[in-house]
């Protein structure tokens, strides 16, 4: 979903793809998108070929129908009365054609559903798997709603276009060509009519769609803004209720609602002329066919035109011709609509491809070193870092951490504490300077190995929809129920879980069940307790847990921290006080470094903080 | 579907006007084959070229009128569709904001979101399409049927026989289709949920190297979505071929039957040709109608989902004072033996009673999950108490009209709602507050300094969910919002947990200075945030286990003392 003008994340300004997000499809891009969609189809080429064959056959059969009906009518209007045998024969042929055509058409429809679902499945899979390889940065700068709308709404648009329009185009082309051949056989002169009307049709459609296209893209943009706003405001519905701001927010929503609907109407206003106009051109062709056909038939009847002449036509011939010209004109009418749908499918596909083309996390360097049996020695040397080049978050950070040490990071909000964690885990890479683990520079080791070396408990607890059991053993898939329960006990969340009607099988979901932030955090601590990584990161890991519970889980936490290199960001002095080294981080620089006593004696920021709570 | 009709009703006049124009256009179009057969039957035999041209031009004129009428009618239809969806969306959004939190819990927010986006869009499409094609198709159908009756009643019987069969089949198929599409929608919801979760938890997933696991998890939902879509598609895909076949069989029957009628001079080949023209027209109309049925099937599922929200019973209605009499008390806030349960099974709060004078301060502390936030939610009437009553200035809160009620409170909650707009607007929050009031509030909330450190100060744009400022900054903005409206009651629910000690202390001091007359309720885990409160409640498993001032509690409540000791002895730093 596109974010509104108001929703621009300041960090997005630096997005290198920004220029491409405007949504206008250049000619080259259209071609690229078309080629790539073609590739998806070609991957399923056996199905696709069968589908084409079925389409052609089915249409061939339905095109034969009018021919036999014309012959049957001719058999009735012959000079020697009704030729029942001929009528019977032709009726039989008609019936066979139509039944055959219907069966083939259905088979084709089923086939196309399989085909398009396979493609859509692949696209969704690719998109999702791409998402999981994207750098964390991508998610920090792209709203969830937008990603979701690409994987659902946009792929859906591509899907319906593939399964419906593709067949339609094939059918249409075939019908147009087929009808043309039949008409050519019946009467060559009468085709002249279409020499006039078809170009009119095409020119008109082109002219119109050029005019309407920008209106349509405005329409989807406005709709996106509306959806984005609704999504955002609904997520705050309780706060809105608490402040009684329903009316004001409702009005603001409505403003966007009206804008979106006006944009819709503007597009529809112009496109409303399209269908009837093309229809008019069709009717015009038939009228002209009729006039010409009538005259020719007249001449054929009174003998002005010889039976062998190019201009000769029978009554059945006129009837056939009119029927075929309807068949001929129909698809041309449809084309106008399909071009439209293709356009929206293209821009949807482009949005999907844009994520698929997004640069993944840079691959591990060649000959990346494995990182096994980690001791836990971590060294920062002159590390500089900024999320955007202009704004340094960390400057000249140098720290030595010995295996098994606990490092506490203290500082005002926004000083860059969490950023250090991002660098340790290589969610982001340093701008300059180095970080080493066990003497290996971390940008030279396998990312997976590096991350496996850490266990992480964050303030933002993350649980997924699944049972509590699944959530706890998430970091260790082969954990038994006993291990899970032991971890939950140590995290002091066991009795709460046992009290739930479903116990460990209770399904956690974002909404619905009443589980407090603190309880969520305890579950993630239990998850961490199951892990056996040599290093630990605690980023406000117990911020939502009350201090009594925290004391109770202290033993577990101590167990967790024992013999591990720990990086701790916390409020709690107890943890910090006992840290081997406390770093005070202010405006991206380490301003104080040392253990508790040293820093208290220093009389700097830390001691001020420490004394502040005694007031 | 009833729901759609209800909202379409006000447009009945405009719609019927549009319909009339459309009918005219369609009828004119219907004349075309009639003229055609006239040319073949009579005009051609007369042998005057002039006449053929004359009649031909009449056809062109008819086509022209049909076009004009249809354009006008289409435009009117889009206008109706525009107004209709605008109205539905407006009503739906307004209703959503009025749902009680319990109802929101039941629907879940993602589901509400998809109802106001996808589902509304579906029925909008349906209404637009129904007006465009829903008129043309039946008229072509009925008109065609009438004309064929006039031309040759015997042959038209063939058509009349096929019609009910076709409708029967369509009805049958679409009946099967609705549940299938509902299932598809549910699968989509599941798929979206996994994506949403993984995007939010990307750090954890990467940290634990669980991408393969997540791929498998996604693959499962992806596959079941594909399965459901296939199933629905295969059933609904049969509509078109079946209809085409039946219509074509009708044509075959007409040709077959007409042979003997022509032989018996009851009919002539020209009539048969015109007849088949109509039949083709009718079958095209039927085709359109079958497409509408497929759409109807989809939008019926959507309409039901919308109606579910609209028809949700009004929760938390304002009650009569007769049923909930006021209570004679001097207290500003009074809880009288309150019990509450979310699910109606175990009590989440039990027997809570407390009294707080105007301007008093209340602190609530307790273990994780002990019911602190629940108590606050009851006071805010997010939920109604199960037993007992809550009074503000002696009035049962269930009898206070919501507007008046909301104006009493300023709330900064644990869950933070900040949205993509300026900082100024986020504090003002759509209320009628002056620049001064907003800045003053920001100063008290210790937010002014960091706000002015932005180049554009109060005009600084927050991103959605305020991801571009830190947790502590978010909390200070929320507090500023809560106090900007000069509320009678200020609720700070765990709203300074991310503040460092010094800032927190400054905040407390500023609140004491500037909000003397305001009754303040603070929920916190730090004793230091509460210890100056007039009254402190200690909650455990939904019950009050300690009540009094800091000093009293140190004496009387061992749990409180334990908490306090743990924090004061080696308390917090940041």
Reported as a single tens digit per residue, the pLDDT across A397-420 is 888 888 888 888 887 766 778 888
Structural contact between residues A424 and A446, judged by C-beta atoms closer than 8 angstroms: no
Q: How far apart are CA A565 and CA B226, in angstroms?
A: 46
What is the C-alpha separation between B46 and A260, in angstroms, rounded? 59
ipTM of the complex: 0.77
Query: In sequence order, what DSSP letters do the residues of B329-385 get, joined into one string?
Result: -S-SEEEEEEEE-SSSSS-SEEEEEEEE-TT-EEEEEESTTSSHHHHHHHHTTSS--
* Residues of chain B contacting A102 with CB distance shorter than 8 Å: 241-242, 244-245, 248
Structure tokens at A512: 């619905």
Burial A562-601 (b: 16+ CB within 10 A, else e): eebbbbbbbbbbbbbbebebbbbbeebebebbbebeebee
What is the rounded distance in angstroms from the CA atom of residue B492 to the CA atom of residue B410?
8
The upper half-sphere exposure of residue B334, i.e. CA atoms within 13 Å in the direction of its Cβ, equals 16
Residues of chain A positioned with their CB less than 8 A from the CB of B108:
509-512
> Does residue A228 surpass a pLDDT of 80?
no
Q: What is the average pLDDT value for chain A, to the nearest integer?
A: 79
CATH code of the domain in which A491 resides = 3.40.50.300
Tell me whether B9 touches chain A (CB under 8 Å). Answer: no
Integer-rounded Cα radius of gyration of chain B: 35
Query: How many structural domains comprise chain A?
Result: 3
Q: Residue A11 pLDDT more than 70?
A: no
Q: Is residue A555 part of a domain?
A: yes
- Report how far apart the first and last C-alpha atoms of chain B are (Å, whole number): 58
Please choose, from the candidates A465, A468, A477, the residue with its C-alpha nearest in 3D space to the C-alpha of residue A510: A465
Question: Could you say which of A77, A413, A546 has the minimum Cβ distance to residue B525?
Answer: A546
Alpha carbon separation from B191 to A13, B48, B184 (Å, rounded): 30, 70, 10
Parts of chain B belonging to CATH 3.40.50.300: 333-569
Q: Which residues are A537's β-sheet partners? A: A456, A567
Classify domain B333-569 by CATH architecture. Answer: 3-Layer(aba) Sandwich (3.40)
Cα→Cα distances B240→A243, B128, B284, Å: 53, 22, 11
pLDDT tens-digit map of A348-373:
788 788 888 887 777 777 777 887 88
pLDDT at A4 over 60: no
The enclosing domain of A176 has a CATH number of 1.20.1560.10
DSSP state of B500: -
* Whole-number pLDDT of residue B224: 93
pLDDT (tens digit per residue) in B350-376: 888 888 888 888 999 887 778 888 888
Q: Compute the distance between CA of residue B97 and CA of residue B75 in angstroms, rounded to an integer.
A: 33
Of A90, A315, A462, the CB nearest to B269: A315
Cβ contacts of B128 on chain A, cutoff 8 Å: 268
Shortest CA gap B6–chain A (Å): 20
Average pLDDT of the residues in A261-277: 83
Asked whether the beta carbons of residue B90 and residue A286 sit closer than 8 angstroms, the reply is no
Are A465 and A607 contained in the same domain?
no
List, for residues B185-216, the tens digit of each pLDDT value. Answer: 788 878 888 887 888 778 888 877 788 888 89
B348, two tokens:
């989440």
User: Looking at the partner chain, which of A114, A264, A571 has a beta carbon nearest the beta carbon of B82?
Assistant: A264
Q: Which of A101, A113, A129 sits opposite B234 (nearest CB)?
A: A113
Report in angstroms the alpha-carbon separations of A50 from A104, A109, A123.
Answer: 11, 11, 22
Spell out the SS3 assignment of B202-246.
Answer: HHHHHHCCCHHHHHHHHHHHHHHHHHHHHHHHHHHCCHHHHHHHH
Helices (H), ranges, A571-615: 573-577, 596-602, 605-612
B450-465 pLDDT tens trace? 888 888 889 988 877 7
Could you report the per-residue pLDDT of A35-62, keeping only the tens digit for each? 888 888 888 888 888 888 888 888 888 7
A518 inside domain:
yes
- Provide the edge-to-edge strand list for the sheet that holds A565-569: A454-458, A535-539, A565-569, A406-410, A581-586, A589-594
**How many Å lie between the alpha carbon of B452 and the closest alpha carbon of chain A?**
15
A316, A86 contact by CB (below 8 A): no
Please determine, for residue A212, whether its predicted confidence score (pLDDT) is greater than 80. Answer: no
| Alpha helix segments (H runs only) across B395-544 | 402-408, 423-428, 435-444, 448-452, 471-484, 501-514, 527-530
- Gap between the Cα atoms of A271 and B98, Å rounded: 38
Touching check for B86 and chain A: CB below 8 Å? yes
For chain B, where do the domains classified as CATH 1.20.1560.10 start and end? 2-310
Q: Are B525 and A547 within 8 A, CB to CB?
A: yes
Chain B CB contacts of A250 below 8 Å: 90, 93-94, 97
Task: Look at residues B298, B300, B255, B297 and name the one whose alpha carbon lies nearest to residue B280.
Answer: B255
Q: Let me know whether A140 and A59 are in one domain.
A: yes
Residues A171 and A69 reside in one and the same domain: yes
Distance from CA of A28 to the nearest CA of B (A): 31
pLDDT tens column, A97-119: 889 988 998 998 888 888 888 88
Q: Do A98 and B209 touch (CB under 8 A)?
A: no
Residues of A with CB below 8 A from B471's CB?
A: 413, 459
Contact state of A280 with B64 under an 8 Å Cβ cutoff: yes
Same structural domain for residues A388 and A521?
A: no
Tell whether A527 and A609 lie within a shared domain: no
Enumerate the H helices of B264-356 as residue ranges: 269-310
Q: Which of A230, A549, A609 sits opposite B500 (nearest CB)?
A: A609
Instruction: Say whether residue B229 is in contact with chain A using an 8 A CB cutoff.
Output: yes
Nearest residue of B to residue A140 by CA position? B467
B571 closest CB neighbour out of A411, A515, A573: A573
Are the beta carbons of A8 and B463 separated by less than 8 Å? Answer: yes
State residue A612's pLDDT score: 63
Do A250 and B500 lie within an 8 Å CB cutoff? no
Residues of chain A with Cβ-Cβ distance to B567 below 8 Å are: 547
| Alpha-carbon distances, residue A497 vs A464, A522, A555, B111 (angstroms) | 16, 11, 20, 27
> Are A514 and B188 an interchain contact pair (Cβ–Cβ within 8 Å)?
no
Domain-located, residue A583: yes
Query: In the block, which residue shows the tokens 């917090």?
Result: B572
Contact A491, A556 (CB under 8 A): yes
Q: Which residues pair with A441 in a beta bridge?
A: A436
Q: Which two tokens stand for residue B491?
A: 């609720």
Tell me whether B25 touches chain A (CB under 8 Å): yes
Among A218-222, B226-230, B301-305, B561-565, where is mean pLDDT lowest? A218-222
Q: What's the rounded Cα separation, in Å, for the pair B445 and B423?
A: 14
Chain A residues within an 8 Å CB radius of B201: 462, 464
**What is the radius of gyration, based on Cα positions, of chain A?**
36
Is the distance from CB of A288 to CB of A139 less than 8 angstroms?
A: no
Which of A90, A265, A571 has its CB closest to that of B82? A265
CA nearest neighbour of B532 among B509, B515, B498, B516: B509
Q: Name which of A464, A545, A606 is nearest B368 (Cβ-Cβ).
A: A545
| Chain B residues close to A62, C-beta within 8 Å | 244, 248
Give B 97-126 residues with CB within 8 A of chain A. 97-99, 101, 104-106, 108-110, 112-113, 116-118, 121
Domain co-membership, A517 together with A555: no
Residue closest to B443 by CA, chosen among B531, B387, B503, B355: B503
Select from A52, A305, A67, A54 the least CA-distant residue to A184.
Answer: A67
On the question of pLDDT at A183 being above 80, the answer is yes
pLDDT at residue B568 in the model? 59
Range of the domain at A501: 459-532
Nearest chain B residue to A244 by CA: give it: B406
Do A157 and A51 sit in the same domain of this protein?
yes
What is the DSSP code (8-state) at residue B422? B
According to DSSP, the residues that pair with B544 across neighbouring strands are: B539
pLDDT tens-digit map of B5-28: 888 888 888 888 888 888 888 788
Question: CB of B523 within 8 Å of any CB in chain A?
Answer: no
In angstroms, what separates the C-alpha of B303 from chain A's closest C-alpha?
18
Q: What's the distance, Cα to Cα, between the start and end of chain A in Å?
A: 50
Q: Does the pLDDT at position A13 exceed 60?
A: no
Decide if B97 and A250 are in contact by the 8 Å CB cutoff.
Answer: yes
Q: How far, in Å, CA of B208 to CA of B227, rounded?
A: 31
Closest CA to A15 of A3, A27, A26, A25: A3
Task: Point out the residue among B75, B81, B222 whose CB comes nearest to the CB of A125.
Answer: B222
Same domain flag for A489 and A588: no
CB distance A605 to A613 below 8 Å = no
10 Å Cβ neighbour count for B299? Answer: 25
Per-residue pLDDT, B404? 84
Q: Report, as an integer, the average pLDDT of A3-22.
A: 35
Q: Are A463 and A513 within one domain? A: yes
Nearest chain A residue to B54, by CA: A291
Shortest distance between the Cα of B154 and any Cα of chain A, in A, equals 17
Given CA atoms B160, B162, B163, B164 in this order, what sign does their dihedral have? positive
- Render pLDDT for A286-304 as a digit per residue (tens, 0 to 9): 888 878 887 888 788 777 7
Question: Please, which residues have CB within 8 angstroms of residue A562's CB and are 6 or more apart in sequence?
Answer: none
Helix (H, G, I), strand (E, B) or coil at A18: helix
* Per-residue pLDDT at A512: 43
Instruction: Assess whether A447 and A538 both reside in one domain.
Output: yes
Q: Which of A73, A286, A515 sits opposite B272 (nearest CB)?
A: A73
pLDDT digits (tens, 9 = 90+) for B427-443: 988 888 889 999 999 99
Instruction: Grade residue B228 by pLDDT with cuts at 50, 70 and 90.
Output: very high
Q: How confident is the model at residue B345 (pLDDT cuts 50, 70, 90)?
A: low
CA atoms within 13 A on the CB side of A453: 26
The neighbouring-strand residues paired with B522 are B363, B492
Contact flag B417-A451 (C-beta cutoff 8 Å): no
Q: What is the mean pLDDT of residues A227-236?
A: 77
Percentage, residues of chain B above pLDDT 90: 4
CB-CB neighbors (< 8 A) of A117 in chain B:
226, 229-230, 233
Is residue B79 within 8 angstroms of chain A, CB to CB? Answer: yes
CA A457 to each of CA A454, B207, B221: distance values in angstroms, whole numbers, following the listed order = 10, 10, 28
For A119, the closest chain B residue by CA position comes to B226
**Are B269 and A548 a contacting pair at CB < 8 A?**
no
- Sort B338 into a burial class: Cβ within 10 Å, 0-12 / 13-18 / 19+: buried
Q: Which residues of A touch B75 (CB under 8 A)?
A: 268-269, 272
- Residue A503 sits in the same domain as residue A545: no
Q: Which chain B residue lies closest to A570 (C-alpha atoms)?
A: B574
Kindly report, residue by residue over A426-467, the tens digit of the pLDDT.
888 888 888 988 888 888 888 888 888 888 887 777 788 788
**CATH superfamily of the domain spanning B2-310:** ABC transporter type 1, transmembrane domain (1.20.1560.10)
A587 and A538 belong to one structural domain = yes
Beta bridge partners of residue A594, listed in sequence order: A582
B252–A474: do the CB atoms touch at under 8 Å? Answer: no
C-alpha B523: how far from its chain's center?
32
| Contact flag B206-A425 (C-beta cutoff 8 Å) | yes
Among partner residues B67, B343, B464, which is closest to A7 by beta-carbon distance? B464
* Residue A305 structure tokens: 């035109």
């Amino acid at each position: 979903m596109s974010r509104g003008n108001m929703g621009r994340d300041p960090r997005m300004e630096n997005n290198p793809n920004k220029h491409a997000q405007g949504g206008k499809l250049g000619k080259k891009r259209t071609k690229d998108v078309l080629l790539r969609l073609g590739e998806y189809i070609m991957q399923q080429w056996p199905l696709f070929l069968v589908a084409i064959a079925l389409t052609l056959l089915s249409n061939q059969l339905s095109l034969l129908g009018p021919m036999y009906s014309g012959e049957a009518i001719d058999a009735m209007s012959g000079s020697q009365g009704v030729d029942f045998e001929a009528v019977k024969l032709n009726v039989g042929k008609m019936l066979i054609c139509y039944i055959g055509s219907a069966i083939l058409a259905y088979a084709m429809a089923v086939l196309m559903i399989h085909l398009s679902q396979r493609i859509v499945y692949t696209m969704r899979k690719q998109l999702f798997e791409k998402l999981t390889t994207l750098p964390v940065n991508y998610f920090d700068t792209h709203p969830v709603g937008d990603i979701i709308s690409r994987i659902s709404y946009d792929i859906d648009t591509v899907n319906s276009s593939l399964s419906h329009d593709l067949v339609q185009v094939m059918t249409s082309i075939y019908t147009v060509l087929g009808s043309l051949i039949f008409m050519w056989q019946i009467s060559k002169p009468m085709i002249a009519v279409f020499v006039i009307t078809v170009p009119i049709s095409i020119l008109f459609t082109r002219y119109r769609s050029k005019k309407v296209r920008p209106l349509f893209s405005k329409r989807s943009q406005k709709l996106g803004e509306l959806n984005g706003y609704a999504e955002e405001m609904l997520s705050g519905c309780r706060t809105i209720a608490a402040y009684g701001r329903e009316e004001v927010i409702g009005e603001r929503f409505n403003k966007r609602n009206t804008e979106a609907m006006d944009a819709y109407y503007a597009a529809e206003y112009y496109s409303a002329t399209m269908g009837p106009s093309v229809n008019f051109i069709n009717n015009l062709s038939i009228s002209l066919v009729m006039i010409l056909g009538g005259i020719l038939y007249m001449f054929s009847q009174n003998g002005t035109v010889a039976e062998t002449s190019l201009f000769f036509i029978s009554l059945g011939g006129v009837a056939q011709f009119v029927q075929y010209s309807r068949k001929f004109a129909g698809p041309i009418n449809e084309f106008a609509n399909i071009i439209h749908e293709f356009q929206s499918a293209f821009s949807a596909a482009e949005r999907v491809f844009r994520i698929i083309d997004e640069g993944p996390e840079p691959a591990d360097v060649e000959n990346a070193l494995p990182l096994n049996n980690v001791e836990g020695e971590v060294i920062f040397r002159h590390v500089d870092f900024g999320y955007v080049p202009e704004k340094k978050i960390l400057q000249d950070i140098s720290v030595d951490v010995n295996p098994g040490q606990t490092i506490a990071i203290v500082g005002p909000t926004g000083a860059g504490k969490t950023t250090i964690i991002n660098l340790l885990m290589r969610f982001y890479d340093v701008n300059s300077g180095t970080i080493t683990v066990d003497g290996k520079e971390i940008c030279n080791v396998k990312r997976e190995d590096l991350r496996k070396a850490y266990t992480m408990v964050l303030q933002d607890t993350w649980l997924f929809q699944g049972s509590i059991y699944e959530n706890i053993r998430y970091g260790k898939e082969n954990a038994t129920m006993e291990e899970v329960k032991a971890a939950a006990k140590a995290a002091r969340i066991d009795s709460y879980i046992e009290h739930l009607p479903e116990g460990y099988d209770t399904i956690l979901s974002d909404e619905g069940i009443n589980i407090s932030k603190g309880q969520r955090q305890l579950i993630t601590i239990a998850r961490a307790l199951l892990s056996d990584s040599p290093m630990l990161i605690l980023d406000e890991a117990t911020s939502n847990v009350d201090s009594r519970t925290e004391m109770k889980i202290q033993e577990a936490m101590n167990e967790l921290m024992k013999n591990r290199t720990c990086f701790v960001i916390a409020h709690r002095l107890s943890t910090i006080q006992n840290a081997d080294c406390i770093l005070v981080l202010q405006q991206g620089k380490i301003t104080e470094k040392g253990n508790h006593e040293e820093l208290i004696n220093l009389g700097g920021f830390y001691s001020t903080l420490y004394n502040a709570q005694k007031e | 579907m009833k729901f759609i009709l209800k909202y379409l009703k006000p447009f009945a006049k405009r719609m019927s006007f549009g319909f009339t124009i459309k009918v005219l256009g369609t009828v004119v179009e219907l004349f075309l084959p009639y003229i055609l057969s006239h040319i073949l039957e009579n005009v051609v035999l007369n042998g005057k070229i002039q006449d053929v041209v004359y009649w031909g031009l009449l056809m062109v004129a008819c086509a022209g009128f049909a076009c004009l009428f249809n354009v006008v009618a289409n435009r009117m239809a889009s206008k109706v569709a525009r107004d209709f969806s605008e109205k539905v969306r407006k009503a739906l959004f307004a209703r959503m904001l009025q749902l009680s939190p319990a109802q929101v819990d039941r629907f879940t927010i993602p589901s509400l979101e998809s109802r106001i986006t996808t589902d509304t869009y579906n029925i909008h499409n349906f209404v637009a399409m129904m007006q465009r094609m829903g008129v043309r198709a039946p008229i072509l159908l009925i008109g065609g049927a009438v004309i064929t009756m006039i031309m040759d009643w015997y042959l038209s019987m063939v058509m009349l026989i096929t019609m009910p069969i076709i409708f029967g089949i369509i009805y049958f198929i679409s009946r099967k289709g609705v549940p299938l599409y509902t299932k598809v929608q549910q699968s989509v919801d599941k798929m979206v949920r996994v994506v949403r979760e993984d995007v939010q938890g990307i750090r954890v997933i990467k940290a634990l190297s669980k991408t393969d696991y997540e791929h498998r998890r996604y693959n499962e939902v992806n596959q079941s979505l594909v399965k459901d879509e296939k199933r629905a598609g295969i059933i609904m895909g049969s509509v078109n071929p079946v209809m085409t076949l039946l219509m074509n069989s009708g044509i075959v029957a007409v040709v077959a039957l007409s042979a003997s009628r022509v032989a018996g001079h009851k009919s002539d080949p020209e009539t048969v040709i015109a007849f088949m023209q109509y039949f083709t027209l009718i079958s095209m109309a039927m085709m359109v109608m079958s497409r509408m049925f497929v759409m109807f099937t989809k939008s019926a599922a959507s309409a039901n989902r919308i109606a579910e929200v609209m028809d949700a019973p009004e929760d938390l209605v304002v009650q009569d004072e007769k049923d909930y009499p006021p209570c004679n008390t001097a207290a500003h806030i009074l809880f009288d033996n309150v019990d509450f349960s979310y699910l109606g099974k175990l009590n989440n709060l039990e027997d809570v009673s407390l009294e707080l004078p105007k301007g008093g301060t209340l602190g609530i502390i307790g273990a994780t999950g002990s019911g602190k936030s629940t108590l606050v939610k009851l006071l805010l009437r997010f939920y109604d108490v199960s037993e007992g009553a809550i009074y503000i200035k002696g009035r049962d809160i269930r009898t206070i009209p919501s507007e008046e009620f909301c104006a009493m409170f300023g709330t900064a909650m644990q869950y933070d709602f900040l949205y993509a707009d300026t900082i100024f607007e986020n504090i003002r929050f759509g209320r009628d507050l002056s620049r001064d009031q907003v800045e003053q509030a920001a100063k008290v909330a210790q937010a002014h300094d960091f706000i002015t450190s932005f180049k554009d100060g109060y005009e600084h744009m927050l991103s959605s969910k305020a991801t571009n400022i830190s947790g502590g900054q978010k909390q200070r903005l929320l507090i500023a919002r809560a106090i900007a409206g000069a509320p009678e009651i200020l609720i700070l629910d765990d709203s300074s947990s991310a503040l460092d000690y010094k800032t927190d202390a400054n905040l407390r001091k500023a609140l004491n200075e500037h909000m003397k007359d305001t009754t303040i309720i603070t929920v916190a885990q730090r004793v230091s945030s509460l210890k100056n409160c007039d009254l402190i409640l200690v909650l455990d498993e939904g019950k009050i286990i300690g009540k009094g001032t800091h000093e009293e509690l140190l004496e009387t409540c061992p749990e409180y003392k334990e908490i306090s000791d743990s924090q004061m002895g080696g308390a917090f730093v940041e």
